[in-house]
Every structure is written in structure tokens, then in C-alpha cells.
Amino acid sequence: MTQGYEGSQVVGIDLHRRRSVVVRMTPEGVPLSTVRIANDPETLAAEVAKAGAHAEVVLEATYGWYWAVDALGDLDARVHLAHPLGVKAYSYRRVKN
């Protein structure tokens, strides 16, 4: 994983019931870090804060996403909700551009 990256970052969050996976990457898709965390608002906020100010955060709008959006509200992160069925359907497409 890249340690010294200073540019803008995109954060993807895969929420689960007890634990979640937070992936930070460059806008071009180069992975910077992948971390599995316990679902805790402070832990989530601390991990996303590593992406810097005004980070783009994407998470699936699955059951229980409200607490994560509330936890990220104080970070000035731009949170985007992804439709779960839309994301799944996208993976089955032949052309993905």
C-alpha cells in the first residue's frame, strides 16, 4: 500500500452488522489502504479522516447505514449512497464504462 500519497482520495465502505471494511484509494483507482474495523462511529470517523478534508465517501444504502452517515457528517466528507441492487446489476454488465 502507498504511504506518502498527498492527493485527493476516495473512500469506499462495505458496511456489515458488526464489522466493516474501509478502502481508501486514489481517484484513478490505485488502492492506498484496506482496513477491517469494528462498527463504531469514532473508529469509522478516524479511518475516513486519514483520507483528508473533503474526501469522497461511497457506501451502500443497506440496512443500518444511518449511523455511518451521521458519524461522517462532522468530517466535511461528501457521502454518496450506492443503491445495492444497482451495484450488483452493474457487475453483470458486459461493458462497464
- What's the domain range around 78? 10-91
Secondary structure (DSSP) of 24-40: EE-TT--EEEEEEEES-
pLDDT of residue 40: 93
User: What CATH number should be reported for the domain holding residue 62?
Assistant: 3.30.420.80
* pTM assigned to the model: 0.81
Distances from the Cα of 4 to the Cαs of 8, 50, 51, in angstroms? 12, 12, 12
- Residue 3 is assigned to a structural domain of this protein: no
Distance CA 80, CA 10 (A): 11
- Residue 5 is assigned to a structural domain of this protein: no
- Residue 97 is assigned to a structural domain of this protein: no
Domain count, the chain: 1
Average pLDDT over residues 44-51: 93
pLDDT of residue 31: 92
Average predicted confidence (pLDDT) for the chain: 86
**Residue-wise burial string across 85-95, b where 16 or more C-beta atoms lie within 10 A, e elsewhere:** eeeeeeeeeee
Q: What cell does 37 get?
A: 474495523
Average pLDDT over residues 5-13: 88
- Residue 66 is assigned to a structural domain of this protein: yes
Average pLDDT over residues 72-80: 88
pLDDT in tens, 11-37: 999 998 899 999 999 988 899 999 999
- Residue 96 is assigned to a structural domain of this protein: no
Beta-sheet pairing, 19-25 with 31-38: antiparallel
- Residue 17 is assigned to a structural domain of this protein: yes
Closest CA to 62 of 92, 43, 39, 34: 39
